[in-house]
Chain A
Amino acid sequence: MDHSSLAGRIFRGVALALVLVFFMFPIVWILLMSFQTNEQILRIPPHILFEPTLANYEALISGQLRTAAGNLEISFMRNLMNSFVLSSAAVLLALLLGVPAAYAFARFKFRLGESIAFTLLSFRFAPPLLVLLPLSLYYQELGLNDTYFGIVWVYQLIALPLILWIVRGYFEDISPDIEHAYRLAGHTWREAFTRIAVPLAGPGIAAAGLLSFIFCWNNFVFALILASADKQPVTVGALAFVTASGIQYGQIAAAIVLSVTPTLLLALYAQRYLVEGLSLGAVKG
């Protein structure tokens, strides 16, 4: 961009800064809030300068929420743990099921193939609330209500279509003749899949896994309905801060900071793969 004029460069800088402020301001504000007491937060007008306190984080980590009406037990750390377990297990399962399926959709033309693939994708279009009521009835019948397995299963609605469609694009991008050459050299079809196709689609699989991890992590409504307190992830756990004696804004902010951090770090680390994987999936899918 060194050929653009000075005015152009300044304009670009200003525009970028505006966009950045627009998107980053809420996060910065939350970060500031997490170091303030409820009284400091609720002051009008708000102050940028304040005496920071770690009380919110203390309360979260110790699990003791002090409110005007007395001490409350909260299980934020447990929720955080649940988020980890649920999201990782869901992504793992989705990879196990989705990568072979994506390969099949990319390589073989079979009856109803496109329709099945599209149906799987359509799970992402339907608002979750639409399926939640019947789903919760089924879950009660099946005894899946309030189990880790049940939530991991319902998370497949989020993770599986994503992985399927992104990874499929990657597989389609690999020339089938590379696998053919490998198979002609005396290897089985399965070896060609595990040793040639999967490693070559590696970045795509990583991107899809990462993205579906973030989507699972951010999910709120499935776990809200289908799980009870001790199995709920952070997104639902944060509701505990809306107490009888008022809303604990400081702790909510601290909880948000803690729950956003892992996915944020993950996304920053794998940014390159994400962009690459998603644009490829979009073009090919």
Chain B
Amino acid sequence: MAMLEIRNVDKVYRSRGKPPVHAVRALDMAVTKGEIVGLLGSSGCGKTSTLRMIAGFESVTSGEIALSQRRIDELPPAKRKVAMAFEGYSLYPPLTVRENVAFALKAQQFSRSEISRRVEAIARLIEIEDILDSFPRAISGGQQQRVSLARALVRDADLYLLDEPMGQLEPQLRAVLRGRIKSLLAERGMTAIFVTHDQTEASALADRIAVMEEGVLQQFASEKELKNRPANLFVASFIGEPPMNVLETEVAVGDGGFRLSAGADIVFHIPGDTLSRAARLALEPGKRVRVGIRPQKVAVGTGDIRVRVVSNQWLGDQSHIAGECAGKLLIAVTPNRIAARPGEVIPFALEPRHLHIFGADGTCIRHAEGG
């Protein structure tokens, strides 16, 4: 059952003397109860606008938002049953950390002992017990961020919105808190949406990830799906580290399939039976299409593509090798140490079955086999 439904929502910011900014376009999204969703995208992609429309600080220009079967886009924030942790922490300076966390509960009319029990519990979880009686001014940015997180998570709400919830924390603490927050959310069946631009965080915390760009939802799927079956070129090159190798190729017909060539040295044979009908239609001879291959799928030391090594880095558990072939840069990631110096020529293998093929508008018309 859908907990949150966003139906065809648009957000346009208009200010006098400036062209209107279309921050969110025709957004459709349904989040099921107990699901943790990550909104991922670069800055200005509309993810924070989306969050603020759900919370009620921005009005929707058109469309509807429903939370547990109630329409909320016309309700004041106080009546939406939504809790939020803000990117800028937004703690109330005259109150102590304890009071800041508690003030969210006071409006819900819990008893005094219940409030203090809940505050203590969340403080233990988020490791802010020792600063409960400090004032926001006296604690560090990372601590303030945790207080702000605690203030959101301590409440009983239908939906929890977390805007960059861990941006200010040290890496170790981030990993620990990620785990704890995930189990807290799962244990209590809390539905949450968090905004991030960190892929690792999104994959670690989210059940499903919504990738946004220029106000448009590009794909809303699990991390595995995003990696293996990207909907379009944007998702394909945005998700994954290092980014996917993308080559522009020219289409030709031959050998019972298609020949995609990116220059004389790099030619791929795609058998026709691995393509859908629509894909076969999209591959018109003479047209240019882009193909992508994950660096992890590029085999090093075999194959017929000869590349000149530009850089070779051993990261402790994997090698990143950048090689140049006919003016195109290819990145390969292998788990082995490769002894190749910059300037040396080594073979790379790009197997056609590992290629994602993107149509003219960027939509993926064929996914790589097995991801």
- Residues on A lying within 8 angstroms of B by beta carbon are 109, 175-178, 180-189, 196, 199-200
Q: Could you tell me if B15 and A109 are in contact, using CB atoms closer than 8 angstroms?
A: yes
Interface residues of B in 82-115 (CB under 8 A from A): 82-84, 86, 88, 90-94, 103-108
Q: Is B36 an interface residue (CB 8 A)?
A: no
With A175-B88, A177-B86 given, is the CB distance from A184 to B78 under 8 Å? yes
Q: Is B151 an interface residue (CB 8 A)?
A: yes
Q: Which residues of B contact A196 (CB under 8 A)?
A: 92
With A109-B15, A175-B88, A180-B86 given, is the CB distance from A186 to B57 under 8 Å? no
- Residues of A contacting B: mostly: helix
Interface residues of B in 137-159 (CB under 8 A from A): 148, 151, 155
Q: Could you tell me if B15 and A183 are in contact, using CB atoms closer than 8 angstroms?
A: no
Q: Which residues of B contact A186 (CB under 8 A)?
A: 78, 104, 107-108
Q: A181-B148, A182-B103 are in contact. List 12 more A-B contacts (CB 8 A).
A: A177-B90, A180-B77, A180-B84, A183-B56, A184-B80, A184-B84, A185-B103, A185-B104, A185-B106, A185-B107, A186-B78, A188-B78
Bound CA–CA A189/B79 (angstroms): 11
Q: Which residues of B contact A180 (CB under 8 A)?
A: 55, 57, 77, 84, 86, 90
> Interface size (B, Cβ < 8 Å)?
27
Question: From residue A29, how far is it (CB to closest CB) to chain B in Å?
Answer: 46
Q: Is B19 an interface residue (CB 8 A)?
A: no
Q: Is B171 an interface residue (CB 8 A)?
A: no
Pick the 9 closest A-B CB pairs, nearest first.
A186-B107, A177-B90, A185-B104, A177-B86, A183-B77, A178-B90, A181-B90, A186-B78, A184-B77
Q: Which residues of A contact B93 (CB under 8 A)?
A: 200
With A180-B55, A180-B84, A182-B103 given, is the CB distance from A189 to B92 under 8 Å? no
Bound CA–CA A28/B262 (angstroms): 91
Q: Could you tell me if B151 and A181 are in contact, using CB atoms closer than 8 angstroms?
A: yes
Bound CA–CA A181/B86 (angstroms): 8
Bound CA–CA A36/B105 (angstroms): 68
Question: From residue A110, how far is it (CB to closest CB) to chain B in Å?
Answer: 11
Q: Is B76 an interface residue (CB 8 A)?
A: yes
Q: Which residues of A contact B57 (CB under 8 A)?
A: 176, 180
Q: List 16 A-B contacts (CB under 8 A).
A: A175-B88, A175-B90, A176-B57, A180-B90, A181-B86, A181-B90, A182-B103, A184-B78, A184-B80, A184-B84, A185-B83, A186-B78, A186-B104, A186-B108, A188-B76, A188-B78
Q: Of all chain B residues, which has the CB nearest A181?
A: B90
Q: Which residues of B contact A177 (CB under 8 A)?
A: 86, 88, 90
Question: From residue A164, how far is it (CB to closest CB) to chain B in Å?
Answer: 21
Q: Which residues of A contact B104 (CB under 8 A)?
A: 181, 184-186
Q: Could you tell me if B94 and A200 are in contact, using CB atoms closer than 8 angstroms?
A: yes
Q: Of all chain A residues, which has the CB nearest B14?
A: A109
Q: Could you tell me if B15 and A187 are in contact, using CB atoms closer than 8 angstroms?
A: no
Q: Of all chain A residues, which has the CB nearest B86?
A: A177
Q: Could you tell me if B94 and A199 are in contact, using CB atoms closer than 8 angstroms?
A: yes
With A175-B88, A180-B84 given, is the CB distance from A187 to B107 under 8 Å? yes
Bound CA–CA A184/B93 (angstroms): 18
Bound CA–CA A177/B15 (angstroms): 21
Q: Could you tell me if B92 and A178 are in contact, using CB atoms closer than 8 angstroms?
A: yes
Q: Could you tell me if B92 and A182 are in contact, using CB atoms closer than 8 angstroms?
A: yes
Q: Could you tell me if A183 and B88 are in contact, using CB atoms closer than 8 angstroms?
A: no
Question: From residue B65, how far is it (CB to closest CB) to chain A in Å?
Answer: 15
Most central of A175, A178, A199 by chain B CB within 10 Å: A178
Q: Could you tell me if A184 and B55 are in contact, using CB atoms closer than 8 angstroms?
A: yes
Q: Could you tell me if B83 and A184 are in contact, using CB atoms closer than 8 angstroms?
A: yes
Question: What 0/1 readout, one digit per residue, does chain B (270-290) give for beta carbons within 8 Å of chain A?
Answer: 000000000000000000000
